[in-house]
Chain A
């Protein structure tokens, strides 16, 4: 290879490079700074427990982001779904029914979201803002009016799931593989990417734009519903702060993973995986090296800005006159 081809290679694979370089950098830096404590058996367990929730949502959000959508209701939907699951299970229903209830609530939220934006041509992020307020409002109202804490009376199996490493790892692998296959090997994923780049060209190629958006949101809904159960398995309670800020964590994670913010053909499922690991390790590492919690957010913000800057698209070329 000549010298010329190296910068060309970097330019062509810019996104992939940023994606993995970030993860590698975070891993090496914090391993060194914590004298290896980052990779201790105990800490890896902590990381995985945090990862499984964030990763599950991120996979769902890849479907939403890739077609140009944006969602900020995930955190509030998690709180609402968890709450419904608690009530269902406390009422004596088996765990499976509780899980289904959580998924049903989450899917319903996302369906309302996409139907509003499809029908009225509203920006998806705005309708998700409405969903966020409604879901968060319902939880806050319920928490403030009930005398007791809203908690699982019998944590039972759920608690075991939250503790068992083999189960957590299985869930991560399962969600990852299924998400990857659907996104990269089926029409839904390919159509989503086409819509993200150019909805007009997509529809002229036979893509049913609204239908594809609907399915993408349904997938996101199912995964967010699952994430609410995983989150519940760790805490067993719901407060008005449950899931708070989760929606933003997911967006930052995806960007760190090299996801194009406006979707399109450069969207990759691997962004969800790489990004959520980077994000969790970054948070975990910053706390471990003793960075004050007040500063963590600031550092995250700076890194986020840097990555967004690196991922910015070049403006389009000029158009030839007729």
Chain B
């Protein structure tokens, strides 16, 4: 190739505890080229870009910048080396003004007699905004007054102000409107024409194919292939992304979307600040999938159903085994023919748990598990009421409970007293499942259940979920990974802007592109 190499990664490896996120990846990034980086969630594409931009240290390997060794200690360090990145999540600080955000960490350049020259900072900020044709904005406004798209534009202006030689865009565009996207596309093309290097990370294949000069495909932490624009072929790229070929036993193999008749949960006309008129039913023995973009409100549905988030309007009903009043308990005794379920309002987390609902948060490590506590302590925490005898929870009881759950779910650990924080992602997830299954939960609300989990463990998770479905559990999976929803759900609800936009019944012919139309 005749284009000069700007940055080279040599055999980069990145491990998070036992999970290998990036495995032996070597990429050359050239000047005058827009390089696309594509892969499914968890393929390692964000991790590799985080290493290049100094957000994460690498475990092993080498980075070369124009032939010299390069070891960024922080994003600021990377910026000094003319590498700027726009991150997936919000990268601005709400309380600070636009100008302060743009020059965050680089206030030194405005020092005048030991104090910051605000006026000059604001002038420079206006110049930065002019780079993206946003020069008319009041740069003294605090960033929290802007909407998401405007904040992203601020970040872009910040990145461009420092005249990057390498401009990295990490999945920014999915959250932007059409105009915002066009703007980024233009900027990327302009930089390329100025002989700069651009790295564009996304899982939106059509967009990448339109913009990029070459595409690198990653899968499960490995670099699979790099394809030049001339050889772009949608089918081939998709295949190399999925690669492992979704065989029968990865997801469930049947296409029978049937489930029990009994309604286990019902959401009636729920409104919150992020949700609009949500109605849904979850049945016994059903895997219900909810898909959408991160900001679509699907994560909030999980929280509302678990009683953690109070709806402004509407109600969540759970059908539990506990009769709500003595009168009904008496009546039930007389009938006595069948296990009867009683509708109850989910008022808070306590009523949810008492009615056998379990919830695993998307932020499992921060919200569902206690990293510092042992496996045993995590497993028993939600089941203490069940284990207590006369108000006392005896150690022997806890031990046998924990041992049973660990064995059932095949948790790999040095023992039940090992802190959960030391476990691998898959084993952590097993503990968070075990916490609810052990507590006799019959309804499981799982938000992004396979996030940060190895492929091998994913398979066991899917098998477990399928087995639970067959045992009559009602399972709600909220996921950003469409293949997972298609592969596992009996029914899929797609969300957009706080509303349910469509419903799909399990079918052999369901495809991602059919669902995406209702998401974006």
Of residues 252 through 278 on chain A, the ones whose CB sits less than 8 Å from some CB of chain B are 264-266
User: Do A322 and B41 have beta carbons less than 8 Å apart?
Assistant: yes
Q: Is B62 an interface residue (CB 8 A)?
A: no
A202 at the B interface (CB under 8 A): yes
* Least distance between B368 CB and chain A CB atoms (Å): 6
Smallest CB–CB gap between A185 and chain B, Å?
5
Which of these, B366, B371, B381, contacts A205 with CB under 8 Å? B381
* Contact with B393, one of A186, A200, A203, A317 (Cβ below 8 angstroms): A186
Query: With a CB–CB cut-off of 8 A, which chain B residues contact A204?
Result: 306, 308, 349, 359, 361, 367-368
A109 to B359, CA, bound (A): 37
In the complex, what residues of A have CB within 8 A of residue B372's CB? 197-198, 264-266
B367 and A320 form a contact (CB under 8 A): no
Could you tell me which residues of chain A, from 141 to 191, have a CB within 8 Å of some CB in chain B?
Answer: 181, 185-187, 190-191
Taking A208-B350, A319-B365, A320-B21 as contacts, is the C-beta distance between A201 and B370 under 8 angstroms?
yes
Say whether B19 faces chain A, with CB atoms less than 8 Å apart.
yes
Please pick, from A194, A206, A320, the residue contacting B19 in the complex, using a CB distance under 8 A: A320
Interface membership of A207, Cβ < 8 A: yes
Chain A residues within 8 Å of B394, by CB: 185
Chain B contacts with A in 39-81, Cβ cutoff 8 A: 41, 46-47, 50, 55-57
In the assembled complex, how far is the CB of residue B272 from the closest CB belonging to chain A, in whole angstroms? Answer: 18
B108 contacts chain A at the CB level, 8 A cutoff:
no
Chain B residue contacts of A265, Cβ below 8 A = 370, 372-374, 377
A294 at the interface (CB under 8 A from B): no
Which residues 352-397 of B sit at the A interface, judged by CB distance below 8 A? 353, 359, 361, 365-374, 377, 380-382, 384-385, 388, 391-395
Q: Flag A266-308 by CB within 8 Å of B: 1 or 0 each.
A: 1000000000000000000000000000000000000000000
CA–CA, A320 to B19, complex, Å?
10
Q: A197-B371, A197-B373, A317-B421 are in contact. Are A322 and B46 (CB under 8 A)?
A: yes
Q: Which residue of B lies closest to A185 (CB)?
A: B392
Interface string of B411-442 (1 = CB under 8 A from A): 00000000001000100000000010000000
Cα–Cα distance between A10 and B370 once the two chains are bound (Å): 23
Q: Are B367 and A201 in contact (CB under 8 A)?
A: yes
Cα–Cα distance between A319 and B89 once the two chains are bound (Å): 14
> Is A11 at the interface (CB under 8 A from chain B)?
no
Known: A187-B393, A321-B50, A322-B46. A206 touches B349 (CB 8 A): yes
Determine the chain A residues whose CB is within 8 A of the CB of B306 once the complex forms: 204
**B148 contact set on A, CB distance < 8 A:** none
Give bound CA distance, A9 to B50, whole Å. 36
Which of A187, A202, A316, A322 is B371 in contact with, Cβ under 8 Å? A316
* Structural contact, A321 and B56, CB atoms closer than 8 A: yes
The residues of A that contact B111 with a CB separation of less than 8 Å are none
A206 touches B369 (CB 8 A): no
**B48 vs chain A, min Cβ distance (A):** 10
B residues in contact (CB < 8 Å) with A: 16-17, 19, 21, 41, 46-47, 50, 55-57, 88-89, 306, 308, 349-350, 353, 359, 361, 365-374, 377, 380-382, 384-385, 388, 391-395, 421, 425, 435, 451-452
Q: What 10 pairs between A and B have smallest CB-CB spacing?
A: A265-B373, A206-B353, A205-B382, A205-B381, A320-B16, A197-B370, A198-B370, A197-B372, A321-B46, A185-B392
Which residues of A are at the interface with B, using a C-beta cutoff of 8 A? 181, 185-187, 190-191, 193-194, 197-198, 200-208, 264-266, 316-322
**A/B interface sample: 23 pairs, CB < 8 A:** A185-B392, A187-B391, A191-B384, A193-B373, A197-B370, A198-B369, A200-B366, A201-B366, A201-B367, A201-B370, A204-B361, A205-B353, A205-B381, A265-B372, A316-B421, A320-B16, A320-B21, A321-B50, A321-B56, A321-B88, A322-B46, A322-B89, A322-B451
